[in-house]
């Protein structure tokens, strides 16, 4: 959640709004974590297009593109297990699963989540963002 500190440091949002957003996100993630089991998967050795296909096939999300062949996927634990099983069968691919207590990556929508922004002025402070494809 360092993005909120960064936004505050350049004056895009106030420090108070950064703290409020961080707090709201933490509470929302804690609530979401109560209902499921989540994990991250480190995938090394596949190109980005293959990792994006793994994510799509297994209902997980790209969480981080570290290098051209080192990625993290995030999602429900059983979906991560399926994605790593699919990837592990390929030559030269290394996979590791990391259980986590809360969801680490959520598909972004065109509108900020009501659970995070509520009905405050924070809604207008956040830019709308969608997932985009990275060329690596």
3-class DSSP string for the chain: CHHHHHHHHCCCCCHHHHHHHHHHHHHHHHHHHCCCCEEEEEEECCCHHHHHHHHHHHCCEEEEEEECCEEEEEEEHHHHHHHHHHHHCCCCCEEEEEEECCCCCCCCCCCCCHHHHCCCCHHHHCCCCCCCCCCC
Based on the fold, state whether residues 24 and 55 are members of the same structural domain.
no
- Write out the residue range of the structural domain in which residue 96 sits: 36-106
Based on the fold, state whether residues 17 and 67 are members of the same structural domain.
no
Tell me what pLDDT residue 130 has.
Answer: 41
Domain membership of residue 128 (yes or no) is: no
Based on the fold, state whether residues 6 and 68 are members of the same structural domain.
no
Tell me what pLDDT residue 136 has.
Answer: 35
Tell me what pLDDT residue 64 has.
Answer: 87
Based on the fold, state whether residues 73 and 27 are members of the same structural domain.
no
Tell me what pLDDT residue 104 has.
Answer: 63
Domain membership of residue 73 (yes or no) is: yes
Domain membership of residue 117 (yes or no) is: no
Return the CATH number at 93.
3.30.70.250
Tell me what pLDDT residue 68 has.
Answer: 86
Tell me what pLDDT residue 36 has.
Answer: 78
Based on the fold, state whether residues 31 and 12 are members of the same structural domain.
yes
Tell me what pLDDT residue 30 has.
Answer: 75
Domain membership of residue 116 (yes or no) is: no
Q: What does each of the 136 residues of the chain score in pLDDT, given as a tens digit? A: 688 899 999 999 999 999 999 888 888 777 766 777 889 999 999 999 999 999 999 999 998 888 888 999 999 999 999 999 999 988 899 999 988 877 665 444 334 445 545 544 444 444 444 434 433 3
Tell me what pLDDT residue 118 has.
Answer: 53
């Amino acid at each position: 959640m360092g993005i909120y500190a960064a936004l505050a440091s350049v004056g895009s949002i106030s420090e108070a709004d950064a703290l409020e957003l961080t707090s709201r996100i933490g509470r929302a993630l804690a609530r979401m974590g109560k209902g499921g089991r989540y994990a991250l998967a480190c995938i090394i050795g596949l190109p980005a297009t293959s990792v994006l296909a793994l994510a799509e096939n297994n209902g997980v999300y790209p969480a981080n593109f570290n290098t051209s062949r080192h990625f993290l996927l995030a999602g429900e634990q059983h979906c991560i297990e399926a994605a790593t099983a699919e990837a592990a069968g390929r030559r030269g691919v290394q996979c590791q699963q990391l259980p986590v207590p809360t969801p680490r990556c959520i598909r972004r929508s065109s509108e900020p989540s009501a659970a995070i922004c509520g009905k405050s002025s924070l809604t207008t402070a956040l830019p709308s963002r969608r997932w985009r494809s990275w060329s690596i």
